[in-house]
A and B are shown apart, each in its own frame.
Chain A
Amino acid sequence: MTTAAATTIKARQRPGDRIFSSATVISGSLILAVLAAVAIFLLVESLPAFVAAPDEFSGDITNFWSYVGPLVFGTIYSAILALLMAVPVAIGIALFISHFAPRKLAQGLGYLVDLLAAVPSVVFGLWGIGVLAPLVQPFYTTIVDWFGWFTPFAGPASGTGRTIFTVAIVLAVMVLPIITAICREIFLQTPLLHEEAALALGATRWEMIRMAVLPFGLPGIISASMLGLGRALGETMAVAMVLSPSPEVIFQLLTAQNSNTIAANIALNFPEAHGVGVNILLATGLVLFVVTLLVNMLARVIINSRKAFSGAN
C-alpha cells in the first residue's frame, strides 16, 4: 500500500460492483439515519409536552421539568447504586477468569457468566419480586433499627422489600455480565512481558495484578463501568415490576416510598396514557435517550482512545 499512490491501478467498474457497493453504502448510512430518526421523531412527538398546561399533570406538578426531575433523579440514583455494587464484583470475576481460574476451565466459566446476560429482563423482574425482595426485607428492618440515624438508611423500613435498594441489587446483577466481559477482554490484553517482569522481581500474584494488570486495564474498567451505567439507566421491566414508586425525590433507600425511574415510569403508564399524556411520556423518553447517548458516547471515546496504546505489546 505504501507505493500505491504512485501506481494506482483502477479496476474496471462493473454494474454488479456498482450495485453491490452502493447497497452496502446505503445500508451503512441507513444506520446513521435510524439513529437520527430516533432523535427527530421523539423530539417532534414530545414538543407538546414542553408546553403542556398544568392540569395535564397529576398532583400538584405544574410543568414538564418538575415532572421529569424526580424521575431523572431516581434513574441516576438507582443506576449509580447498582454500579457501586456491580463494579467491584465484576472486576473480581474478570480477574478470576483471566488470572486465577485454571486455564482449561476459564472459557467455560466465562460462558456461565454470559448466561446471566441471556436471562430476559422480565424474568429478572419476577425473580426480584418473588425471591429477592422477601429475602432481603428482614435485613432492611435490622439496618433501619441499627443505622436509622444515617439519612439513606432512615426508616420506616418497607414491609415488602420493594425498595430502590432491591432494584439496585437486581440492576447490579443485570449489568454484571457486560462489565465482566469487557474487563476480561482488557485484562487478557495486558502485555505478558509486564506480568512476567513483575513476577520475576518477586511480586506475588496479587502484587503483579496491582502493578501490571490494573494500571493497564484502568481505562477499560472505566469505560466498561460506563457501558454498564448506560444499561442500568435504561433498564425498564425489572424496575417497573420491583419498585413501589412515588413521584418525589427521595434519598432513603429502604422505605416504601421511592423515586421512580424514567423507563419504569413509561412502562407503567404508557398502556393507559392518552392525549398529551402520551407526549409527556415520550418527552421523558427523549430525556432518557439523550442521557444514555451521552454516557455511551463518552464510554466509546474512552475505549477507542485505548486502542491506540494496545499496540504496545
Chain B
Amino acid sequence: MSSVLEASPLTNSLTAGKLPRRSSLWVLLASWAVSAAVFAMLYLSGAVEGFNIVGTVVFGTVLYCVAIYVLSRLVEGSRKAKDRLMTALVTAAFIIALLPLISIIYTTVVNGLPAFLTPTFFTSSQRNVVGAGGGVLHAVIGTLLVTGMATLVSVPIGLLASIYLVEYGRGRLAKAITFFVDVMTGIPSIVAGLFAFALFALLFDDPGIRFGFGGAIALSVLMIPVVVRSSEEMLKLVPNELREAAFALGVPKWLTILKVVLPTSMAGIVTGVMLAIARVIGETAPLLIIAGFTASMNYDLFSERMMTLPVFVYTQYANQGADSQAFIDRAWAGALTLILIVMLLNGLARLIAYWFSPKLGR
C-alpha cells in the first residue's frame, strides 16, 4: 500500500495547473510596488513635482489587471484568466465608487471646520454681515421649520395611503396608486418647487410669492412617495396571522389596524420616515424657488422669505461678496452641517430599525 503511494507523483491533481493560493494578492502588491518605484523615479529625477499617490495606485491597479491576466493565461488557460480579470475589474469598480465618497467627506471636513468652529456660527444669522463672521442660525431654524412642516403634511397622507394599499386596496385604484407613487419618486425636485410656486402664485395672485410653507408643500410632494413606499413594505411584513387572530376575537378592522398592525410595524415605519426626512432635508432647488433666501431670522412659515441650510450653502457660494474666502468658508461649513444632519438621521434610522425590529427566527 505505502509503496504505491510513494511511487505516485508528488503533484496534487486538484491544484495542478493553477496559480498558488495567494498569488493574486502577491501580484497586486508587486504591481503597486513596481508602480510606486516608477513614480518615485519620476519624482527623484525631477520630471514631476511631488510623489503622485493617486497615480501610483491607478497605474499599479492597471498593471495588476494585465499581469494577472497574462500569468493566469499562461498557467491556467484563457477561461480562468478571463475570470480573474473580471474579478479584478469588478472589485476596481467598487473602489472607484468609494473614491468620490471619501473625497467629498474629506474636503467638506477640511474646508468646513474653520468656519464651523467659530463661536458665532450657530448663534447668529447673516444679517448685516458683509465679510467674515455671522452664522447659520436663520438657516438652521428655517430648515427645521420647513422640513418639520413637510413631515407633518406627508406622514399622515403617506401612512394612510400605504394602509389603503396594504389593507384595503384591491382593483384598479390600488394599482394606479402603486404605479404613480413609483413614478412620483422620480419627479425632479425642481419641478416640485415650480409646482408649489405655480399653485400659490395662482391662489394668492402674487407673481413673486416666496414663503416657507410653499417650500414645505414642495418637499411634501417629494416626500410622500418615499413614505408610502417604505411604510407599504413594512406593513406587508406584518404576519397575516396577527390580523386573523384579531378578527377572530371580533375586533373591528380599523381597530385591528390601529392597535395590532401599526404597533407591530412601527419601528420600520419610523425608520422609513427618518430616511425620507434625510432625503428631503438636503433639497436645494425647490426651496430656492419657493422659499427664497434672506440674511435675517424668520420664524413665520406663512410670510416672507425663509432661509434654509442647502440654500444657504448655494447662496454663499453663488453670491460671494468682496471678501470671497469668508463666503466660501461659510459655504463649506454649511455643507458640513448639512452632511452631519443627514448622516445623523441615517444612522439614527438604522439604529431604530436595528433595536426595535421584531426579532426573526434565525
Flag whether A130 is at the interface (Cβ < 8 A). yes
* Cβ-based interface call for B41 (8 A): no
Q: Which residue of A lies closest to B281 (CB)?
A: A120
Q: Which residues of A contact B187 (CB under 8 A)?
A: 38, 234, 289, 292-293
A107 to chain B, nearest CB (A): 11
**What bracket does the count of chain A residues touching chain B fall in?**
35 or more
Chain A residue nearest to B255 (CB atoms) is A16
A289 x B157 contact (CB < 8 A) = no
Given A28-B169, A227-B186, A267-B288, A88:B93 Cβ within 8 A: yes
Shortest Cβ distance from A36 into B: residue: B180
Please, which residues of chain B bring their CB within 8 A of the CB of A30? Answer: 157, 161
**Once the chains bind, are A300 and B179 in contact (CB under 8 Å)?**
yes
Instruction: Give the distance to chain A from B57, nearest Cβ to Cβ, in Å.
Output: 15
Scan A13-56; emit 1 where CB is below 8 A from any B CB, else 0. 01011011101111111111011011001101100000000000
User: Residue B183 contacts which of A23, A28, A101, A300 (CB distance < 8 angstroms)?
Assistant: A300
A207 at the interface (CB under 8 A from B): yes
A48 to B346, CA, bound (A): 43
Option from A115, A122, A130 in Cβ contact (under 8 Å) with B107: A130
Q: Is the CB of B199 within 8 A of A100?
A: no
**CB within 8 A of A235: which of B160, B188, B255, B331?**
B188
The answer to whether B82 touches A204 (Cβ under 8 A) is yes
Bound complex: CA of A95 vs CA of B86, how far in Å?
10
For B167, the chain A residues whose CB sits under 8 A away are 24
Stretch at the interface among A57-65, A147-155, A270-278: A270-278
Given contacts A25-B164, A38-B187, A274-B208, whether A122 and B202 have CB atoms under 8 Å apart is no
A296 within 8 A of B: yes
Bound state CA distance, A45 and B101, in angstroms?
40
In the complex, B14 has a CB within 8 A of chain A: no
- 1/0 per residue, CB under 8 A from A, across B270-290: the answer is 000000001101111100110
B253 and A11: CB pair below 8 A? yes
Bound complex: CA A21 to CA B254 (Å): 8
- Smallest CB–CB gap between B314 and chain A, Å? 5
Interface string of B106-126 (1 = CB under 8 A from A): 011001000000000000000
| Nearest opposing residue in chain A for B315, CB measure | A271
How distant is B178 from chain A, measured CB to nearest CB, in Å? 9
Chain B residues closer than 8 Å to A16, beta-carbon distance? 252, 254-255
Question: Interface readout for B289-312 with A: 1 if CB under 8 Å, 0 if not?
Answer: 100110000000000000000100
The 0/1 profile, CB within 8 Å of B marked 1, for residues 186-220 of chain A is: 00000000000000000011110100000000000
Most buried by A among B104, B160, B167, B201: B104
A-B contact count (CB 8 A): 276
Contact A118 B278 (CB under 8 A): yes
Tell me, yes or no, whether A233 is within 8 Å of chain B by CB: yes
B80 within 8 A of A: yes
> Cα distance A125–B158 when bound, in Å?
31
A275 to chain B, nearest CB (A): 8
Contact with A along B321-362 (1 / 0, CB 8 A): 000000000011001001100110010001000000000000
Whether A127 lies near B188 (C-beta < 8 A) is no
Q: How far is the CA of A237 from the CA of B190 in the complex (A)?
A: 9
Complex interface: chain A residues within 8 A of B339 (CB): 119-120, 123
Chain A residues with Cβ below 8 Å from B100 are: 116, 127, 173
- Contact A237/B87 with A44-B198, A263-B188 known, Cβ cut-off 8 Å: no
Q: Contact: B156 with A27, CB < 8 Å?
A: yes
- Whether A28 pairs with B177 at a CB distance below 8 angstroms is yes
Complex contact A271–B288 (CB within 8 A): yes
Answer whether A17 and B254 are a contact pair too, CB < 8 Å, given A41-B202, A93-B97, A130-B111: yes
Instruction: Assess the B188–A292 pair: CB atoms within 8 A.
Output: yes
Q: Which listed residue, A24, A88, A237, touches B160 by the CB 8 Å rule? A: A24
B146 at the interface (CB under 8 A from A): no
Closest residue on chain A to residue B318 by CB atoms: A241
Q: Report the separation of the CA atoms of residues A237 and B342 in the bound assembly, to the nearest whole angstrom.
A: 17
Say whether B257 faces chain A, with CB atoms less than 8 Å apart.
yes
Once the chains are docked, how many angstroms separate the CA of A40 from the CA of B107? Answer: 43
Q: Which of A20, A234, A278 contacts B254, CB < 8 Å?
A: A20
Q: Measured between C-beta atoms, what is the minimum distance from A254 to chain B in Å?
A: 20
Residue of A nearest to B224 (CB): A31
**Hey, what's the 0/1 contact readout for B153-169 against A, CB within 8 Å counting as 1?**
00011111101110111
Digitize B59-86: 1 where CB-to-A-CB distance is under 8 Å, 0 elsewhere. Answer: 0000000000000000000011011001
Chain B residues positioned under 8 Å from A249 (CB to CB): none
Residues of A within 8 A of B185 (CB): 296
- Against A, the Cβ 8 Å flags (1 = close, 0 = not) of B185-223 are 111111110110111011000011000000000000100
Give the shortest distance, in Å, between A203 (CB) and chain B (any CB): 8
**B313 proximal to A (CB < 8 A):** yes
A231 within 8 A of B: yes
Residues of B within 8 A of A209 (CB): 86
What residues of chain B lie closer than 8 Å to A118, measured between beta carbons?
278-279, 282, 342-343, 346
Sorted nearest first, the 5 A-B pairs with minimum C-beta distance are A234-B188, A120-B282, A92-B93, A27-B160, A24-B164
17 more A-B residue pairs beyond the given contacts A112-B101, A123-B335, A237-B284, with a C-beta to C-beta distance below 8 A:
A31-B225, A38-B187, A45-B197, A96-B94, A122-B310, A123-B338, A125-B317, A126-B317, A130-B111, A173-B100, A234-B190, A234-B191, A241-B317, A275-B207, A285-B191, A292-B186, A296-B182
Query: What are 27 residue pairs bridging A and B, where the CB atoms are less than 8 Å apart in the complex?
Result: A16-B254, A25-B164, A28-B161, A29-B173, A35-B180, A42-B191, A96-B93, A96-B94, A118-B346, A120-B338, A122-B338, A126-B313, A127-B104, A176-B97, A180-B97, A206-B87, A207-B79, A209-B86, A234-B186, A234-B191, A236-B189, A237-B310, A267-B284, A285-B194, A289-B188, A293-B186, A300-B179
Residues of A at the B interface (CB closer than 8 Å) are: 11, 14, 16-17, 19-21, 23-32, 34-35, 37-38, 41-42, 44-45, 88-89, 91-93, 95-97, 100-101, 109, 111-113, 115-116, 118-127, 129-131, 173, 176, 180, 204-207, 209, 227, 230-231, 233-237, 241, 263, 266-267, 270-271, 274-275, 278, 281-282, 285, 288-289, 292-293, 295-297, 299-300, 303-304
